Amino acid sequence: MAHPGFLDLIARSPGVGKLIRAVVEGTTPVQVTGAEGYARLAVAAALIHKVSRPSVLVFPTPEEAVTAKRDLGDLLGSDRVLLFPAREVMPFETETNREALWMRIQCLTRLSEPLDPSDPPPVVVMPATAMVRNVMAPVRFLKGCRRYSKGDSASPLDIVRDLVNEGYERVFSVEGKGQLALRGGILDIFPPSAETPFRLEFAFDEIESIRTFDVESQVSIDPVTEILVTPATDFPPNDSPRDNDTAGEPDPGEGSTILDYLGPGGLFMVDRIANCTHVVS
């Protein structure tokens, strides 16, 4: 991550300072010219650094988005900058498109349900084709997010049923993200947004303990007090049940894009808008 003083220095330049004031005062949209290549990203990073809002940046091609994620990560911190890849339409599932799905879910999670409220606002980078792809409506995604804490009253069978409806695969032994396994009073879950899987141990219908565990050895490791379990899909199955709270909303994913997760206070930036428009037209 670049020293904050470097971004402060960029922000103090007359042109960038004017840009920041326009964004803070709400006199947008603003067109920025004169910066090329890495300089454009440095200006964007300085704006994000000073304004500190959730941000989405769109680039014409997937390759440019990957490069921008790397460079913005160097400037703002790699943990803060996420890549939202396009959904590939393929007749079969591959490890690559599963990883892309987990990346998209992580972006939706960070924009809508921060894992840690003290974390800085996320920065999501994407190619133009990903911007126009439909995803699960935010209200539906949030409805599918569940928090479990030690001491909660919960039935493991009910949790399994609910998570299978949210796209999880039930397996004998959890080996990767988006999977769950129930053995007696022990429920293993690996949420797509988590770095490690979790093991919930039940005493009847109460969560007695929650621990992380190692996928290779299946050995429990560290205790945790609360976990966030997100959906394991960014576009729910057609037979996913709808409840009264979402009955009045549009069908999940119908007409929704990642921009619906950004919210009215977020920053939305497009690099070379004519190029991006050409790609998606």
Q: pLDDT 10s digit of each residue in the chain, 281 long?
A: 777 789 999 999 999 999 999 999 988 888 888 778 889 999 999 999 999 999 999 999 999 999 999 999 999 999 999 999 997 655 455 667 899 999 999 999 999 976 676 789 999 999 999 999 999 999 999 999 999 999 999 999 999 999 999 999 999 999 999 999 999 999 999 999 999 999 999 998 999 999 999 999 999 999 999 999 999 999 865 544 444 455 555 554 567 999 999 988 899 999 999 999 999 98
Question: What pLDDT is stored for residue 143 in this prediction?
Answer: 93
User: How far, in Å, are 56, 59, 75, 104 from residue 280 at the CA level?
Assistant: 17, 11, 29, 19
Report, in angstroms and rounded to the nearest whole number, the Rg of the chain calculated over CA atoms: 21
Q: Which residues contact 71 (CB under 8 A, 6 or more apart)?
A: 38, 41
User: How far, in Å, are 93, 178, 179, 227, 250 from residue 98 at the CA level?
Assistant: 7, 9, 12, 22, 26
Question: What pLDDT is stored for residue 167 in this prediction?
Answer: 94
Which residues lie across from 190 on neighbouring strands?
Answer: 179
Judged by phi (left if over 0) then psi (alpha if -120 to 50, else beta), residue 204 lies in left
Residue 278 is which amino acid? H
Sheet holding 267-270, edge to edge: 81-83, 123-127, 55-59, 267-270
Which residues lie across from 9 on neighbouring strands?
Answer: none
Token match 């945790």: residue?
224
Question: What pLDDT is stored for residue 91 in this prediction?
Answer: 46
Phi/psi for 114 (5° steps) reads -55, 135
Return the closest-CA partner of residue 256 out of 115, 37, 108, 66.
108
**Longest CA span, the chain:** 65
Contact 125, 59 (CB under 8 A): yes
DSSP-assigned letter for residue 9: H
Helices 14-25, 4-11: axis angle to 10 degrees equals 90
Q: Tell me the torsion sign for CA atoms 9, 12, 18, 22.
A: positive
Q: How many whole angstroms separate alpha carbon 164 and alpha carbon 196?
A: 19
Question: What pLDDT is stored for residue 27 in this prediction?
Answer: 85
| Mode of pairing for the β-strands spanning 220-223 and 55-59 | unpaired
Q: How many whole angstroms separate alpha carbon 218 and alpha carbon 151?
A: 23
Show the domains of the chain with their CATH numbers. Answer: 4-133+257-280 (3.40.50), 146-229 (3.30.2060.10)
Phi/psi for 216 (5° steps) reads -70, -50
